[in-house]
Each structure stands twice: as structure tokens, then as C-alpha cells.
Amino acid sequence: MKFPKDGMDSEALFADMRERKKQDADWEGGRTWSLLYPAGKEVDDVLRKANELYVFENALNPFRFPSLRQMEVDVVAMAADLLHGGEEAGGCMTSGGTESILMGVKSARERARVERGVTRPELLAPVSAHPAFAKAAHYLGLEHKQIPLGPDLRADVDAAASLINDQTALVVGSAPNYPHGVVDPIPELAGLAAERGISFHTDSCLGGFLLPFYERLGEPVPPFDFRVPGVTTMSADVHKYGYATKGASVILHRDAEHLKKYQLFMYDRWPGGLYGSFAMAGARPAAPIAAAWAILHYLGESGYVRLAGVIRDTVKKLRAGIERETALRVFGEPVMSVMSFGSDTLDIGAVGDVMDDRGWHLDRQDNPKALHMMVSPQHAKVADAFLADLHAAVAQHGDSRGVEARYS
């Protein structure tokens, strides 16, 4: 596309944009199972208004926009409270899970260098950990080592123990992980790290704003947060199960006075004055911070518990429906709202194709081959329709054997 010569009438412009948007996934109809976490129209309205109020500000310099600075401080404090951070906990907001993870890895690398003299830092993360850890290792010059999974698809603790060495800067566990929705053995992994003075990061990007509310509902939640000794940093995404619009996550340190300095970048060797930053980004949009603050206040604990209840009931219905299909099985023991399912007899990719044709957007996975789901409150209203289509898709492929031909 060439740079436009003249400007465009705004009515025509928005008509054009609306037209373009028609090709996008129908997330409002509950048809997507990843990327978005819709929680209903009322929540959407609050998010829209909060975004609009802070469209133009810049969160780079907190002293210019004190209201914004206070909102960031508040969001971090609320997340720390939820995750049992205690008085010493602190952190920052970032643009998302990946940036929180990058900052967690950077902090661990610096800590290992300063406190243990580590010069060839290694990062130890389960095979199922989000690619953000591999990305962080790549960007920040750490060697990435993978902890294999046990038969329950959780990180194998003995294997982790044998991989740790004097250059390990960070050990990681997920609560839960993206591929299977299972929670790694956080106390055991964090214990291995703590014994050796190594940092440990719980990636609760997915679970940080949902597991605490599952716990309040009386559901079994494995230990994952700062109540576990040895957990030094955590990531929790407000833009996932906090239901905020995109661009909002939190990186937390157990002991901010000790650990947060390792996250900081400071520079004064230029004419522009002292430049300090706790994140990868320079200029930062204000709207995601404002929207995160707004939605946490709008829903409050009771609102989050209510939505967690809707998710839990929907997951139970979906899981029961999937398991009623004798050819299908759910992998591992998913703890909350994320799960994957596959088959020993059916071509699960072909089942996914039929679901695509029927308008459902299910992500594909490998090792084991699976379809992946992240359940949001919005899915309560489509669970029955989804299961009916899944049943039809399985029936259509009931005679297919040996998945290798098409999906290997």
C-alpha cells in the first residue's frame, strides 16, 4: 500500500474498518478458545470507558501522570495481595506475560551474576513452559535447558535436580501451563532452587487471576504462589483471567527491596538526562494500566469469584461432554480452565478441521497431538452447541485410524 495522498472522511474510514473486521474471528459469539477472555458486555463496557479515558497519556514517566502512577502501584499491590506476597512484595506492570517473563529472567540473571558470580547463566524450564522463556533466554544470553515432563505432564522433579548446576540462574514452573493446563510441582522445584540460592519463577500468567478464586470456591488448587518457600518472582496477567484489555500483566518479586533492583535499567551517558526503566518498552501506553485498574475495582473479589464459578461449571460440562466421546481423552489433570484433548484412535486434527468448518477456533498441539481450549465466562452460553458439534465431528471421523498420514 502506498502512503495516502489525501486524508479520508472519518465516516468512510470507519465503514471501511468495520468491513475489514468482518473477516475476524467471532469472539463475541464465544467461538474462540484462545487469545481472548471475554467476560460479558458489562465488563466490556467498563473496559471501553477506562481505555477511552487514558488513550493519550504515556506511562513512561510516572511523575508526569501521577494518577497513572498510582494506578500501576495499586494494580501491583492488588496482585501481590491476591498471590500472598506479604509486606515485602513488589513489582511493576508490563505489557503482557512475555514482558513479565523477560523481566523475571533478567532479574534472575543479574542476581546470579552479582550474588553468585555466575558468568554463563542457564535457565531451567519445563518442556511445557511458555515459549516466552526460550525467547528470554535467546534475548538475554542464557542457555535454555528443558526439564522433561512426567507421565502426568508435569515437570519431572528428579530430572530437574539432575539438570541444575552452579551456572543455573533461574528455575521455572507454570501454574498452570498453557498446553495442558496442569500445574507443575512448584514446592519441589522451588525447593531445589532455594537450597542452592537460585531464583525461582512461577509463571502464573494464566492462573494468577483465576486460581485464587478457584481456591475461594473450595476447588483443589495445588500450591503455586508466594506461600511456597523459594518462589522469588511470579508473573500474572491481568489481560488474561483478570479480563482486562490487552497490554496488562504484573511481574512480582517476593522481596522487592532485595530483588527489584536487578530488574532496573539505568542510563545517564547521554545528554537527555537520567533514564531509568523497569520494562523492555520505553514509551508505554496508559490505557492498559487504567483498564486493568478499572476492571479489578469494578469486579472486586466477589465479581471474580462469581466469574470463576461460571468458568468452573462450564469446564465441568465441557470436560464431561468430551469424555463421553469414548474416542477422546483429556490429557493430564487440568486444574482450572485450560485443557487439551486428543485420541488414540481418531485423527484429532481432522476432528479439528470439522470444528473449524462449523465455526469453532480450536488451536492444534503436538506431542501429544491435541486440540486446545481455554474457557472463558462467555463460553457458558455455547457449551451445549460446542459439544453437539464435537459429537458430530467425532462421528464423521469415527472410522479414521492412524493419524500419521495427514498430521505427521
Ligand X SMILES: Cc1ncc(COP(=O)(O)O)c(C=O)c1O
Min separation Cβ 158 and ligand X, Å? 23
Cell of 263: 530488574
Residues 200-259 that bind ligand X (CB under 6 A): 203, 205-206, 237, 249
Cell of 180: 495442558
Among 397, 29, 239, CA closest to 371: 397
Compose the 65-104 pattern: x for residues touching ligand X by CB under 6 A, - for all others: -------------------------------xxx------
Cβ neighbors of 14 (< 8 A, separation 6 or more) are: none
Min separation Cβ 16 and ligand X, Å? 29
Residues 251-310 that bind ligand X (CB under 6 A): none
Min separation Cβ 34 and ligand X, Å? 7
CB nearer to ligand X: pick between 118 and 212: 212
Cell of 39: 467476560
Q: Which of 37, 178, 262, 360: binder of ligand X (CB under 6 A)?
A: 178
Q: Residue 373: in which H helix or E strand, if any? A: strand 370-374
Which among 50-58, 171-179, 186-194, 326-334 is the span making contact with ligand X, rule CB under 6 A?
A: 171-179
Min separation Cβ 24 and ligand X, Å? 18
Q: Which of 71, 78, 118, 132: binder of ligand X (CB under 6 A)?
A: 132
Phi, psi of 345 (to 5 degrees): -120, -30
Among 27, 4, 8, 33, CA closest to 364: 33
# chain residues binding ligand X, by CB under 6 A: 13
Compose the 369-408 pattern: x for residues touching ligand X by CB under 6 A, - for all others: ----------------------------------------
CB nearer to ligand X: pick between 71 and 248: 248
Min separation Cβ 30 and ligand X, Å? 19
Compose the 111-130 pattern: x for residues touching ligand X by CB under 6 A, - for all others: -------------------x
Whether the upstream peptide bond of residue 148 has omega within 30° of 0, thus cis, is no
Min separation Cβ 247 and ligand X, Å? 9
What pairing do the DSSP bridges indicate for beta strands 143-147 and 122-126?
parallel
CB nearer to ligand X: pick between 131 and 197: 131
Task: Give the count of beta carbons closer than 10 Å to the beta carbon of residue 328.
Answer: 21
Cβ neighbors of 230 (< 8 A, separation 6 or more) are: 187, 190, 191, 193, 194, 200
Query: Cβ(346)–Cβ(400) under 8 Å?
Result: yes
Which own/partner pairs from 24-31 qualify as long-range (CB within 8 Å, at least 24 positions apart)? 25/361, 26/359, 27/378, 28/378, 29/382, 30/376, 30/378, 30/379, 30/381, 30/382, 31/359, 31/360, 31/361, 31/382
CB nearer to ligand X: pick between 338 and 403: 338
Task: Give the count of beta carbons closer than 10 Å to the beta carbon of residue 189.
Answer: 29
Min separation Cβ 56 and ligand X, Å? 24
Min separation Cβ 246 and ligand X, Å? 8
CB nearer to ligand X: pick between 126 and 393: 126
**Using CB atoms, what's the residue nearest to ligand X?**
97
Min separation Cβ 175 and ligand X, Å? 8
The angle, 0 to 180 degrees and rounded to 10, between the axes of the packed helices 41-53 and 287-324 is: 160
3 state SS of 363: strand
Task: Give the count of beta carbons closer than 10 Å to the beta carbon of residue 266.
Answer: 9
Binding residues (CB under 6 A) for ligand X: these are: 96-98, 130, 132, 174, 177-178, 203, 205-206, 237, 249
